[in-house]
Chains A and B, each alone.
Chain A
Amino acid sequence: MRLRKLKGAALLGVTSVVLAACGGGSTSGGGTGLAANQTLSFPIDGDIGSFDPAEINAETDVVLYQNLFEGLLKLDNNLNIVPDIATDVPSDTNGGISSDGLTYTFHLVKNAKFSDGNPITCKDAVYSWNRSAADTSAYGSDFDHVVGYDKVSAKGSTVKEMSGLTCSDDYTLVAKLISPWPVFLTEVAFQPAAVVIEKSAVDKDPTNWWGTPGEEISSGPFVLSARTPGQSLDFSANSNWWGSTKPTLKKIHIDIVKDMSSALVKYQQGGYDTIGFGGMNSDLNPDDVYAVKNDATKSKDLHEIPKTRSIWVAFDFKGAGAAKWGGLTGAGHDLRLALSLAVDRNQLADLACSHSLICKPATGGLIAKGLKGYMGDNTDPTAKFDLATAKQLLKSADPTGAKLKGTVYVTDTNKAVYKNVAEQLISQWKTNLGIDVTEQVVDHSAFIKQYTSHSIPGPHREGWQADYDHPQDWFDNLFICGASSNGSQFCDPQVDTLAKKADTEPLAQAIPDYQAAETQLEKDAAFVPLVYTSGDILWHSYVQDIGANSFNDWYWLGIKIGSH
């Protein structure tokens, strides 16, 4: 008898624990007032690498750091270059850019200060830029046109200051360039390397000044207030924020999660205010996004964000596979073009990207849609679906099928969309051309190793996410001979000539030259363009003034939590 009672008690106990009620599920609704608790909470799927502007690299780090540090210029939420610590954007008309294009003068506001109350002056900006240039990490090379950069960035150099950076007074910075470089203002506005940091904070803890709450001295509206590595980050409003607009948010809490699908469940339970924020808009599981889109209630929270990332197939122009895949003309060219014309990109995006939810067909060149230099919808002749021509080219380039036998397409696991696209691509080549291509999925780190050492002897995944909205970012990193991220080692002197010419021209003049260079890429059938990615963010309706542009999240400064 007692055992029966024990059994019943055990069952009740287990049931009680499992059914632990956890808070009322008040529905979100856009209240007219603001919530008392102004905390924004969201997840990211990987810990930050660094907030040190001289070392920062990953997308997540960039979208978070932009709320901690300010630069002389910045982008507003609509990607316009606007003054930040500078009083205005240097131009020809306001005398900020000299007539020869070699001297840029920035006037600083006089009320800017660090979170410790110390004023921000020209010497802080000069120190910050010199430090980034000397570090020569991801974005330090954006100062490569400043006089003296070559001495500072040389291996083993003891020179710490670029001679081209000077302060004519406490609030006027003068930058002299080695040659006209119209991209300079874009780089200053976009790049983490150009924000202003305090020397004394760095001197106190050179390695970890940026990641230790209390040591990290910011110049922006928020400071790092707590951090548990691998687990969570907390930021709070900077009490010494000098800007005219004060933050409404008092705290930002970020969880570092492994699985965004589980995080989405927590979001739907009301545990997060938004998901996909913090640079995560490409990291939501496409199936989850599709399920949300098809739910009449949940889909109201879903917002699609066009991204600045393109994905394409690259080949091998100089390595072991060059004999088969290389050459600007001839059999190699025909083979590449055949593979490109055999791809129905609408079907590819539909099947690989959850009914075109997270990517769109790339039909306007390799520079992503919406960016400067984009060629226009359906303008890329290599992106047309033309099976008849594809088969003809294949027959002439590989009449016996011997060349394509054993072809392996290499991709990585960094994002789900890469694998999905690869599978659909291979399926289409099989169906449309009758060729068997094997998919080789390699983990991301190993893939990058192979890619950067140019050891993939055939078709492989390539892609780029723009650092800033200027075609120079694409050409100088990807398409010119010997470019640092030119994994296929493609090289066409005509493309180089056009791109280098465009680099020195003001943007309006440069665009036609960049587009001519891209037309040449298309003539060379250098790559097989596939898709442009898009991202998705969900936020509850009570979160006000939140969003993202194609590069970054909107600043935390404008976000408010409405009553709910």
Chain B
Amino acid sequence: MVSRGALVYIGQRTVLILFTAVAVSSIVFLAIHRIPGDALLNERHPDPTAEAELLHHYHLDLPLYRQYTLFVTNLVFHGDFGESLVNRGEQLTPLLLREATVSLEIGLIALIFTIGVGVLLGVFAAIRQNTWVDYTLTTTSVIGYSMPNFVIATFLVLVFSKLMYTWTNGSFYVPEGWDGTYGLLSQIPVPAFALGFPYASIVARLTRASMLEVIRQDYIRTAEAKGLKERVVIIRHALRNALIPVITILGPLTIGIITGGVVIENVFNIPGLGKEFVTSIITRDYNIVIGVFTVYAVLIGMANLGVDLVYTVLDPRIRY
């Protein structure tokens, strides 16, 4: 049952997210128009008449303040990001929404992997402290958060797509690429792993440290003395409290996954926002650049809101 206070809080945060999105769009709008070059330039210098007509079609011949006014009006009142400058006639709002769902798909799987695997490894390392299990998992975590995700991604492609194909003569390998909008089941794990592994390593380290602190508490000793099974003690008593610091970093972690997706999507050719982001900046497709930044701002705002709401589930003392 959601309380009135929570609903008010959610409403306030949603309005803040929308304001943030408009502010981000405005800053990006002004910045992208300052960068030299534009999408309509070509080595084959077009006819001046044609060039003028193209500029007029995209309102690029208007003064910057008028372009901005048009842009804000269309965005706020119609939710319209306009038309692509490179792919003539392509409406951007449906394109960006589709790509956002793809990015959300891979980001969500990466997040589940991050939290699930990170917590699992952290718990194992803590309960097997100073054993080979602990040392192995700790070392793996250090490697994980030391390596940039594009290095991990490239390495995974090399090993699981290229070398494994050669070693097994095409029998066992991870297929490269991305089929359809949402990919095949076999194509999802490797990019999700590449995206989530560095953060899973951070979660593992944090969980280990937090668990080590919690399992030394008196109430844990009491629970063990009562004869409860180790699994029950860990999961029901220790983990819940050990997770609070982990939830604290969930916000930045989610943001890291969202922004890390830019690199991963480009390496694995995933048709999400990240791939569009890089392409649109290189081609100076102004409207797409602004659209991508805006969608990212909204996603990050919503992720932060989600994390704040998760707190209330974990810690009943927190109420809005």
Inter-chain contact B49/A155, CB cutoff 8 Å: yes
Inter-chain contact A21/B171, CB cutoff 8 Å: yes
Inter-chain contact A140/B50, CB cutoff 8 Å: yes
- Do A24 and B171 form a contact, CB below 8 Å, given A262-B157, A485-B44? yes
8 Å CB interface, B33-83 against A: 35-39, 41-50, 52-54
Closest to A487 in B: B43
Residue A116 lies at the interface, judged by CB distance under 8 Å to chain B: no
Inter-chain contact B186/A20, CB cutoff 8 Å: yes
Residue B275 lies at the interface, judged by CB distance under 8 Å to chain A: yes
Complex CA distance for A199 and B112, rounded to whole angstroms: 53
Q: Interface with B: A48-56, A66-74, A82-90, which one?
A: A48-56
In the complex, per-residue mask of A250-290: 1 if CB is within 8 Å of any chain B CB, else 0: 00000111110011011011110000000000000000000
- Do A18 and B160 form a contact, CB below 8 Å, given A230-B99, A266-B175, A443-B37? yes
Inter-chain contact A449/B37, CB cutoff 8 Å: yes
Residue A19 lies at the interface, judged by CB distance under 8 Å to chain B: yes
Inter-chain contact B267/A445, CB cutoff 8 Å: no
Residue A448 lies at the interface, judged by CB distance under 8 Å to chain B: yes
Inter-chain contact B186/A22, CB cutoff 8 Å: yes
Inter-chain contact A22/B44, CB cutoff 8 Å: no
- Do A445 and B282 form a contact, CB below 8 Å, given A21-B173, A229-B90, A484-B45? yes
Closest to A448 in B: B41
Inter-chain contact A138/B176, CB cutoff 8 Å: no
* Cβ contact of A20, chosen from B87, B176, B189, cutoff 8 A: B189
- Do A22 and B173 form a contact, CB below 8 Å, given A50-B88, A258-B278, A452-B41? yes
8 Å CB interface, A403-458 against B: 443-452
- Do A3 and B172 form a contact, CB below 8 Å, given A445-B36, A445-B37? no
8 Å CB interface, A5-25 against B: 7, 10, 17-25
Complex CA distance for A548 and B279, rounded to whole angstroms: 27
> B267 — which chain A residues lie within 8 A by C-beta?
259, 262
Complex CA distance for A141 and B46, rounded to whole angstroms: 9
- Do A207 and B271 form a contact, CB below 8 Å, given A18-B160, A262-B176? no
Closest to B234 in A: A3
Residue A96 lies at the interface, judged by CB distance under 8 Å to chain B: no
Count class of interface residues, chain B: 35 or more
> A136 — which chain B residues lie within 8 A by C-beta?
46-47, 49-50, 53
> B185 — which chain A residues lie within 8 A by C-beta?
20
* Cβ contact of B44, chosen from A17, A52, A268, A477, cutoff 8 A: A477
In the complex, per-residue mask of B121-139: 1 if CB is within 8 Å of any chain A CB, else 0: 0001001000000000000
Closest to B54 in A: A137
> A21 — which chain B residues lie within 8 A by C-beta?
171-173
Complex CA distance for A445 and B41, rounded to whole angstroms: 7
Closest to A228 in B: B181
**A490 CB to closest chain B CB, in angstroms?**
15
Inter-chain contact A140/B47, CB cutoff 8 Å: yes
Inter-chain contact B89/A211, CB cutoff 8 Å: yes
- Do A448 and B37 form a contact, CB below 8 Å, given A22-B186, A257-B269, A485-B45? yes
> A230 — which chain B residues lie within 8 A by C-beta?
87, 95, 99, 271, 275-276, 279
Closest to A209 in B: B89
Q: Which of A21, A24, A46, A211 has its CB near the most chain B CB atoms (within 10 A)?
A: A21
Q: Interface with A: B9-17, B162-170, B239-247, B310-318, which one?
A: B162-170
- Chain A-chain B contacts (Cβ-Cβ < 8 Å), number: 182
Inter-chain contact B275/A268, CB cutoff 8 Å: no
Closest to A211 in B: B89
Inter-chain contact B186/A255, CB cutoff 8 Å: no
Inter-chain contact A269/B35, CB cutoff 8 Å: no
Complex CA distance for A454 and B98, rounded to whole angstroms: 41
Residue A388 lies at the interface, judged by CB distance under 8 Å to chain B: no
Closest to B229 in A: A2
Complex CA distance for A385 and B284, rounded to whole angstroms: 40
**B287 CB to closest chain A CB, in angstroms?**
13
Inter-chain contact A263/B173, CB cutoff 8 Å: no
Complex CA distance for A140 and B275, rounded to whole angstroms: 33
Q: Which of A255, A263, A265, A270 has its CB near the most chain B CB atoms (within 10 A)?
A: A265
In the complex, per-residue mask of A133-162: 1 if CB is within 8 Å of any chain B CB, else 0: 001111011000000000001110000000
Inter-chain contact B46/A448, CB cutoff 8 Å: no
- Do A2 and B231 form a contact, CB below 8 Å, given A258-B269, A449-B41, A485-B45? yes
> B269 — which chain A residues lie within 8 A by C-beta?
255, 257-259, 262-263
Residue B101 lies at the interface, judged by CB distance under 8 Å to chain A: no
Closest to B83 in A: A207
> B181 — which chain A residues lie within 8 A by C-beta?
228, 231
Complex CA distance for A259 and B161, rounded to whole angstroms: 15
Residue B283 lies at the interface, judged by CB distance under 8 Å to chain A: yes
**B40 CB to closest chain A CB, in angstroms?**
10
> A163 — which chain B residues lie within 8 A by C-beta?
none
**B300 CB to closest chain A CB, in angstroms?**
22
Complex CA distance for A448 and B45, rounded to whole angstroms: 9
Residue A208 lies at the interface, judged by CB distance under 8 Å to chain B: yes
Inter-chain contact B41/A208, CB cutoff 8 Å: no
**B149 CB to closest chain A CB, in angstroms?**
15
* Cβ contact of B47, chosen from A3, A25, A137, A452, cutoff 8 A: A137
Q: Which of B37, B86, B189 has its CB near the most chain A CB atoms (within 10 A)?
A: B37
Complex CA distance for A448 and B99, rounded to whole angstroms: 29
Inter-chain contact A269/B175, CB cutoff 8 Å: yes
> A447 — which chain B residues lie within 8 A by C-beta?
37
> B266 — which chain A residues lie within 8 A by C-beta?
258-259
In the complex, per-residue mask of B95-115: 1 if CB is within 8 Å of any chain A CB, else 0: 100110000000000000000
**B183 CB to closest chain A CB, in angstroms?**
11
Closest to A444 in B: B282
> B42 — which chain A residues lie within 8 A by C-beta?
57, 138, 448
Inter-chain contact B160/A47, CB cutoff 8 Å: no
8 Å CB interface, A499-513 against B: none
Inter-chain contact A446/B36, CB cutoff 8 Å: yes
* Cβ contact of B90, chosen from A154, A211, A467, cutoff 8 A: A211
Closest to B269 in A: A257
**B302 CB to closest chain A CB, in angstroms?**
23
Inter-chain contact B47/A10, CB cutoff 8 Å: no
Complex CA distance for A7 and B128, rounded to whole angstroms: 12
Residue B190 lies at the interface, judged by CB distance under 8 Å to chain A: yes
Residue B220 lies at the interface, judged by CB distance under 8 Å to chain A: no
B residues with a Cβ closer than 8 A to A are 35-39, 41-50, 52-54, 84, 86-90, 95, 98-99, 120, 124, 127, 157, 160-162, 164-165, 169-177, 181, 184-186, 189-190, 193, 230-231, 265-269, 271, 275-276, 278-279, 282-284
Interface contacts beyond A136-B46, A268-B162: sample of 20 additional A-B pairs, CB < 8 Å, sorted by A: A20-B185, A23-B170, A24-B170, A24-B171, A25-B169, A137-B50, A138-B42, A138-B46, A208-B89, A228-B181, A230-B95, A258-B265, A258-B279, A445-B41, A445-B283, A446-B35, A448-B42, A450-B36, A464-B43, A485-B43
Jot down 23 A-B pairs with beta carbons below 8 A, ordered by A. A3-B127, A19-B164, A19-B172, A20-B186, A23-B175, A26-B170, A57-B42, A135-B50, A155-B48, A207-B88, A207-B89, A228-B271, A229-B95, A230-B279, A258-B265, A262-B177, A266-B175, A266-B176, A269-B161, A269-B175, A445-B39, A445-B41, A446-B35
